[in-house]
Amino acid sequence: MTVEEMRAIMRHRVVPEDLVVQNIVEYLMDESAQLPKLSAFAFLNRIHDLGMSAKDFTVLLEGCGAPQSAVDKIKANPAMSLNNLVLTLENSGLTSDDYSNMLYTARMVFEQTLTTADVLKQATIDDEQDEERIVSELFDDVPEVAEKTDIADGSVSEEKTSADEKADIETKTSEEKADTAEEQIPEKMPEENAELSGDTSTLIISIDPKKLKQSSAEKSLSVESLFDDNEDEKSEDDEENKSNFYGEETDEKTDEKDEDTESPSESHEEPEETKDGEIERKKGGYNKPALIISAVGACVLLLLCAYFTFFGKTDAFVKKISYAEDNDAIFAEVYDSYTAGNMGGGRAQAYFAGEKLFGNMLISQSDFGIVSDGDFVYLGSKDKITAYDDKDISTAAKAEIAPPENTEFVELFQYGNSVIAVFSGKECGFMNIKKGYVNFTVRQDGELCDFSTDENEISFGSVYVPHYTHTFNSSNADQYIPRAGRDEKTVLPAENILLGKTSGCSYAVWGKYSLSDGSTVLAKAALGDPVYAGTNGICAMNAADKDGNVFGRIISLLDTEEPVVTETDMISAAAECADIFAALENGSIKLFDAQLEEKSIRDNLPAIPDKMKFSGKVLLLGKEDSVFSSIDCANSEAPAVLETAKENGVVFGDSAVIFKTDSKIEATLLHLENGEAKQTGSFSKSLSESELSTLELGGAETAAFGEGVCAFAFRYFDGVSVVSQCVMFGKDNSERTLYDDRTGYTAVFNCSGSIYAVSSKGLETVFE
């Protein structure tokens, strides 16, 4: 044996995982560090580092016993992206140990290839002195090679003999330890022709001697061509040939394909099986497991090259927008965006109450007012709802209801004999409150963009930005899928999640729920970079093409089969009403109908809104929680600016009261008729300047409406006493006055058609 041969044997040993560069860092930082378990991702990265091609990879998987379904899936999709590949592996049932074993096999092949390359390199230097022999064996034209086969074979025999003798040292051990691959692999090494590219991490191996002629610059042989050759061989090989794991050609094959005349190292002979079940070759003994394990390595070895499809070709491709087949599909898309740092949802338009449009007036209202369920009255504020027994509202509150954690109330209204409190924040939804208690809570992931109600249902559009953590992977992907439902949220089924490569891993969520029992009527979501989710199943998103150019996408989720999609310029704000969708693009507002057909463009806006909302069919343009302009979109093809006046007051359904306190107290009762606010009553009270300066006018909590009447309370100092008054005006008039009352009138509300006023003295009936 020569030093070179012994070196080849010794260097075939695979460096343990603990000592590889990728893992040593951990040990350097922490002496007690444990070798991390290989995940699919880490495994793929390591395989990538070895420069393995996609097809080699499938061979490796198959050879190492990966589930066939996973292998088939990978084979069927050669352009599979990394995340899909991760997903496929993770779902294949492969364990960390399996990855380790496969990596070991791949590394073994990689390292032996390095060694083989060294041997060949050395051999090439040695053989330069025998140019004629090299030329005849490797570089001559095919016919000539065929003619010189005998000569070549002769040299092969010599080489093989020495190689096998060398290998026999190992083989004896191998036979005893058939389960240890590393001792067996060296046996086949001399049989391979391998070339080492300039970069030692990338190997190009060919079974075609002619290819050895190529210069280093030409060494980037197509893996497909190599693999195709191999596949051709495979398809042509009979059962007997299948035992020739090296993809080398049998004598018969050589006859058929002169082009692929064996290289010196390829001419080993067919193994024969002994009665002991051991496979022996004419030169050197091989056992079956050794051959099988060798085959895995050999197949991989043959196919190693610099081209790694899975990693090298991750060209973005725009998928058709469609509903997800399963959670894995969602994970795959999320993973894409997540790893690219595109979380999305950054431009989401949160719900804003703003001013309430009443006819041509924008009425700002400071609080939610007081509503009643018939038994209790509720005073709502952002952070709590206080329930009082309406028989004695002046006594201690029966209950205080807080919104869910990290949310605040945004609206409170009566529904039948219960009260609905809408909240928004980290999540959105509503509480059905009855008799001072929360009957049930419906929650939907994401911050509220808008909500709407009809007779018995309430719809929410929200934007959900999942809080991804480092443990994010396919096994816990459902934690990052939107949830919705009564009391305990449930994950939206995958088939209700719309996917479509929109460069983000946030969701536009749309849910419709029963107001009476909280059941979910429908809940859907669209993945991407949402700006707005409407209440009628239309959402606005931004997406990016492969060049990073951002564009807008309006998606209608209404149709379960085929979502309607329209692409626009980048969207910065949006709003939706029953049959109109408005999107703000480049400072212009585009109006679309329910089928997302563009109806008109409105530009020359007085200012660029940062939020929009519809009130009826009037589009309110908002900035910093205040509406600055309104556009009447009743005719969506010709939207017109609606001149509005801003007032302070209280709106309750079709009734409103507006206050003016410039020189006296003025209250005007309005009723909405055909979209126009008509005055139905008024009240005024003159106050001196000093009295006006102390005037405290209550908001919605001290205003109530009855049939044709309005009652409201106020307080001022007349120079002698604190005067608290509750006045009712409209078709009937009345007035209650308290002097120096500790609290004054703190609440005025309507319960079952009667209007009550509350003070420290208790409940007073103002109107029956």
Partner 1 sequence: MDKKEYRQYAVQSANGDATAFAKLYGLINRNMYYTAFYTMKTEKEAVSAVMEVARETFGTISNLHSEQQFCTYMMKALCAKIKTVLKRYPDNSLDDEQPEIKELLFELPNIERMIAVMHIAGKFSCDDIASFMGMTSAGVRKKLEHAEQKLGITE
CB of 9 to partner 1, least distance (A): 6
Please give the residues from 10 up to 69 whose contact with partner 1 meets the rule CB under 8 A.
10-11, 13, 15-16, 18-22, 24-25, 27-29, 31
CB-count burial class (<10 Å; 0-12, 13-18, 19+) for 431: buried
Q: Using the rule CB under 8 A, which residue among 38, 56, 116, 172 binds partner 1?
A: 172
* Beta strands per DSSP E along 618-663: 618-623, 626-632, 640-641, 645-652, 655-660
Q: Using the rule CB under 8 A, which residue among 169, 438, 558, 695 binds partner 1?
A: 169
Nearer to partner 1 among residue 286 and residue 480 (C-beta): 286
Residue 91 in tokens: 């779902």
**HEC profile for 556-596?**
ECCCCCCCEEEEECCEEEEEECCCEEEEEECCEEEEEECCC
CB of 123 to partner 1, least distance (A): 15
Q: Say how far apart CA 545 and CA 502 lie, in whole Å.
A: 8
CB of 288 to partner 1, least distance (A): 20
Nearer to partner 1 among residue 290 and residue 667 (C-beta): 290
Nearer to partner 1 among residue 31 and residue 561 (C-beta): 31
Nearer to partner 1 among residue 166 and residue 443 (C-beta): 166
Residue 622's SS3 state is strand
Please give the residues from 565 up to 624 whose contact with partner 1 meets the rule CB under 8 A.
none
CB of 223 to partner 1, least distance (A): 26
Could you say whether residue 177 binds partner 1 (CB under 8 A)?
yes
484 closest CA partner among 474, 473, 497: 497
Residue 339's SS3 state is helix
Fill in the amino acid letter for 409. F
Range in contact with partner 1 (rule: CB under 8 A) among 173-181, 318-326, 438-446, 749-757: 173-181
Fill in the amino acid letter for 177. K
CB of 60 to partner 1, least distance (A): 22
Given a contact cutoff of 8 angstroms between Cβ atoms, the answer to whether 516 and 506 are in contact is no
Nearer to partner 1 among residue 6 and residue 340 (C-beta): 6
CB of 182 to partner 1, least distance (A): 8
CB of 174 to partner 1, least distance (A): 9
CB of 175 to partner 1, least distance (A): 11
| DSSP string across 415-482 | ETTEEEEEEEESEEEEEEEETTEEEEEEEEESEEEEEEE-SSEEEEEEEE-----TT-SGGGGGGGS-
Range in contact with partner 1 (rule: CB under 8 A) among 4-12, 244-252, 315-323, 631-639: 4-12
In order of 248, 327, 469, 504, the CA distances from 340 in angstroms are 43, 20, 15, 9
Q: Say how far apart CA 158 and CA 375 lie, in whole Å.
A: 104
Q: Say how far apart CA 426 and CA 236 lie, in whole Å.
A: 62
- Residue 383 CB contacts under 8 Å (≥ 6 apart), including other chains: 402, 403, 408, 409
In order of 31, 340, 416, 555, 609, the CA distances from 545 in angstroms are 46, 14, 49, 17, 26
CB of 33 to partner 1, least distance (A): 10
CB of 26 to partner 1, least distance (A): 8
CB of 145 to partner 1, least distance (A): 32
Nearer to partner 1 among residue 176 and residue 637 (C-beta): 176
CB of 114 to partner 1, least distance (A): 9
The CB-side HSE value for 295 (13 A sphere, CA atoms) comes to: 19
Please give the residues from 105 up to 164 whose contact with partner 1 meets the rule CB under 8 A.
111
Instruction: Give the CA diameter of the chain.
Output: 128
- Residue 604 CB contacts under 8 Å (≥ 6 apart), including other chains: none
Nearer to partner 1 among residue 120 and residue 658 (C-beta): 120
Nearer to partner 1 among residue 289 and residue 649 (C-beta): 289
CB of 217 to partner 1, least distance (A): 21
Number of residues lying near partner 1 (CB under 8 A): 31
Range in contact with partner 1 (rule: CB under 8 A) among 7-15, 42-50, 299-307, 621-629: 7-15
Q: Using the rule CB under 8 A, which residue among 62, 98, 183, 373 binds partner 1?
A: 183
Q: Using the rule CB under 8 A, which residue among 77, 95, 161, 173 binds partner 1?
A: 173
117 closest CA partner among 50, 225, 59, 198: 198
Sketch the per residue contact string, 71 through 110, with partner 1: x for CB under 8 A, - otherwise. Answer: ----------------------------------------
Residue 175 in tokens: 């036979």
Residue 579 in tokens: 């049959």
Nearer to partner 1 among residue 96 and residue 122 (C-beta): 122
Given a contact cutoff of 8 angstroms between Cβ atoms, the answer to whether 136 and 151 are in contact is yes
Q: Using the rule CB under 8 A, which residue among 1, 318, 340, 521 binds partner 1?
A: 1
Range in contact with partner 1 (rule: CB under 8 A) among 170-178, 441-449, 528-536, 646-654: 170-178
Q: Using the rule CB under 8 A, which residue among 56, 137, 170, 192 binds partner 1?
A: 170
Nearer to partner 1 among residue 24 and residue 607 (C-beta): 24
Nearer to partner 1 among residue 3 and residue 720 (C-beta): 3
CB of 487 to partner 1, least distance (A): 49
Residue 285's SS3 state is strand
Interacting residues toward partner 1 by CB under 8 A: 1-3, 5-7, 9-11, 13, 15-16, 18-22, 24-25, 27-29, 31, 111, 169-170, 172-173, 176-177, 183
